[in-house]
Chain A
Amino acid sequence: MVGPFLGMFYGILSVMLPVLSLTAWTLIFILFFPYSREVFLKMVFHRGTMGALRYIMIGLTPIVFFFSSITSAGLSVLGEAVFMGIIYIFDSSMSPVSQMLSLMSAGPIEESMKLAVAVLVYITIQILWRSKPKDPRRDRVREGMITGCFVGASFGFFESLLYLFSNFMTLATDGPSFGSVDPILWRFILGVMIHALYTGIASAGLGRRTITGKVLITAAFLTVSVVLHALNNGIQGFIVLILEMDNVLGWLISDIAQGLLILIGMVIFIVTWKVSHR
């Protein structure tokens, strides 16, 4: 049992680390992607508008964030529970392969649910801010990607809160070790960003001109993000469960492999962002 000060420290960190991570990655995003800064200032602070609308936009942002995180996370938990149930029917002992499959199922289930919410948010934004005549300066592909990042970040934030609490609980119970500290660092640095990145990629087709383009390109990018996410989870499962390397070396290899996958995801995101520029 940990003392009151350490317990309070861990409790505060469980909440503050996702907040810091979200803030840092938002700043990095708007710094390196200038168009996102325009959209961010427009959507969140309603820059250039005086009066009520400015306050409405400032107030609506956390509501949409809250709605996105609860909806996407709730639907994902439901989907994963159904998938786990199906696996359990075929393999009640939950062999390592089944456990790895259940880890990998987060890829298709979570990405689909996040994309569904991103589509909803994107449509709402486009209805509210439709411009007549059509403004050629607006880049709807990028707006789709930014919406995806927003929804993904809200999901990642919610998930990080819960996982970090659980990780700090383990740290308090088992004491400090590589196995208990590594997930905390990983979750703090990349927990929010990784979901924002994957949903940002999956949403790259939302802003295409034609319905066919929207559907086909979204399906293609969703597949990319699903594969990246499933591999990201699967690698950890493969190393720890199948190869039974539940030790420092195993965790390090898993971290490096996951890091490489995130790098691939970042390259895909940046290339899509650049190519989408009209």
Chain B
Amino acid sequence: MMHAAMKGAYKRKKSEEQARLGAILVWSSIGVVFLSLMIIFSYAIMQAGDALTEEDFDHAGEDTWTADIKVDDLGLISGSINSMEDNFRIRVTVYDSRDNVMERYDQRTPVTISVQVFEAGTYTIEIEIRGSSESFEDLDISISSTGLDVLMACCGFLGFIIIFLCLFITGSILLIVSFFTRRGELRQERPPVLYGPPTYHHIVQGTTPDHSSSLDGQWHVDYHADEKDMTVQGRDEGVGPW
């Protein structure tokens, strides 16, 4: 009997330690997420480059407009070109610093551009209006460059993801295991004890009933007694006189 009690206490202690470790790991994983987001966001914002609108473009010839955009690292030139009213055909060409064509789009608006660049430098964007009756003023342009050391960003991001997942999954498993081993106890610890006014503690003197003591039909007592006809001490769990 004593051995069983000690075993129970040991299991309870072990389960508690398991749950505590699980909670620490889960909260640590949240900390890792916040830290990694701060670092990644900071890095991305630091690398934010130029932004172009239609006002930044210069007239470079008949129906042709150009603008330069800088990229300070490996990165991306991306954006969109929309027409204010009816769609019309345009040709967008992205040149590198040596005037080589990197990408060309020849289509009706809206045009979405996305060009990966692999070296720092000044890139030129050329827009040619192909429709006969439309003008450059009909365009709404939003293009930006983002320099990003892709390798570093990917490695950093992957590293954080791996750390987060390890902590989060291990913590969750520990919590779930603890939860299922202590599920019965959880069901006994119901909100009735805690909701509303403070718990009404009550000492009951008298003969033990079969299940519970219902004095005024509103509340009952749980008690600790192995035999009938003995004095019991109980705790109110129902509605009291408040």
Contacts and interface: CB of A to CB of B under 8 A. Distances in A.
Interface residues of B, number: 61
B48 interface: yes
A4 B87 CA distance: 41
B16 A62 contact: no
Nearest to A3: B46
B137 to A, nearest CB: 15
Interface in B10-40: 12, 15-16, 18-20, 22-23, 25-27, 30, 34, 37-40
Interface in B37-53: 37-51
Interface stretch (B95-103, B122-130, B150-158, B175-183): B175-183
A161 B36 CA distance: 13
Interface in B59-103: 72, 82-83, 85-87
Given A59-B26, A128-B186, A2 B46 contact: yes
Contacts, number: 169
B39 A49 contact: no
Contacts of B42: 7-8, 10-12
Nearest to B220: A133
B230 interface: no
Given A38-B194, A137-B196, A169-B48, A11 B43 contact: yes
Contacts of A2: 45-46, 48
Chain A, interface size category, equals: 35 or more
A177 interface: no
Nearest to A43: B191
A93 interface: yes
Given A55-B23, A93-B87, A129-B190, A135 B195 contact: yes
B172 interface: yes
Contact of B87 (A3, A58, A92): A92
Interface in A31-76: 35, 38-39, 41-42, 46-49, 51-56, 58-60, 62-63, 66
The 6 closest A-B pairs by CB, nearest first: A11-B42, A7-B46, A59-B23, A137-B196, A55-B19, A11-B41
Interface of B: 12, 15-16, 18-20, 22-23, 25-27, 30, 34, 37-51, 72, 82-83, 85-87, 109-110, 144, 147, 168, 171-172, 174-175, 178-179, 181-182, 185-187, 189-197, 238-239
5 contacts: A14-B45, A39-B195, A66-B30, A172-B48, A174-B51
Given A11-B39, A38-B196, A133-B238, 18 more contacts: A1-B47, A1-B49, A3-B46, A11-B38, A14-B45, A35-B195, A51-B15, A51-B16, A52-B20, A56-B179, A56-B186, A59-B19, A59-B25, A59-B172, A62-B30, A94-B110, A165-B44, A173-B51
Interface of A: 1-4, 7-8, 10-12, 14-16, 19, 35, 38-39, 41-42, 46-49, 51-56, 58-60, 62-63, 66, 92-94, 128-131, 133, 135-138, 161, 165, 168-169, 172-174
